[in-house]
Amino acid sequence: MRPSGPDATHCSSNLRSWGKLWRLAALLPVILGNIGPSFANELGQQDTLANTTPDKALMGSISRGKKVFQHYCVLCHGINADGLGRAAKLYQPRPSNLVLSDKNAQYKELIIRQGGAAIGRSNYMPPWGKELNDEQIRDVVSYLTSIVKQ
């Protein structure tokens, strides 16, 4: 049995309004889906622009390099890069104090990539070229350059 009379009319008009609302709600994802990507693109472009400024890029590299250093290098070179890692006592010559290093970035990259033996330094400095990727090596060099005390 279907309702009739004024109440029923009011009720059916309410139902029609709800129906419109539901249709609108159903369209929302489509509308947002069209707006969303372009908005995200704009944000992404801004983010990329911000990250490509020299300072930000360098800070990012230093920060990543510190993490790599703390994972792989602290064993010998120590958490402060002063050559006093927990394994330092095993080696003669002792691991370098990297805070006082006078070597340039190219030299650092070479010894990290090829190891000490390849360039006439300590045999105990392993070649990291197959363990770390190019970006990680560059990042470590950025970090090491940033901590040198003049």
Partner 1 sequence: MNASLIYSVGFLLSVGWLSSAQAGETEIAQKDKKFSQTKLSIKVGDTVKFKNDDPFAHNVFSLSETKAFDLGTYPKGQTKSVTFDKPGKVEIECAIHPDMKLSIEVKP
Residues lying near partner 1 in the complex (CB under 8 A) are found at 71-72, 75-76, 86-87, 89-91, 115, 117, 123-124, 126-128, 130-131
The residue among 13 and 123 lying less far from partner 1, judged by its C-beta, is: 123
Q: How far is CA 81 from CA 43, 100, 122, 128, 129, in A?
A: 38, 9, 17, 17, 20
Q: Are 97 and 126 in contact (CB under 8 A)?
A: no
The nearest distance, CB 92 to partner 1, in angstroms, is 11
The nearest distance, CB 138 to partner 1, in angstroms, is 19
Phi and psi at residue 6, to the nearest 5°: -60, -40
The nearest distance, CB 84 to partner 1, in angstroms, is 14
DSSP assignment, residue 125? S
Residue 141 half-sphere exposure toward CB, CA atoms < 13 A = 19
The residue among 50 and 87 lying less far from partner 1, judged by its C-beta, is: 87
The residue among 118 and 148 lying less far from partner 1, judged by its C-beta, is: 118
The residue among 110 and 127 lying less far from partner 1, judged by its C-beta, is: 127
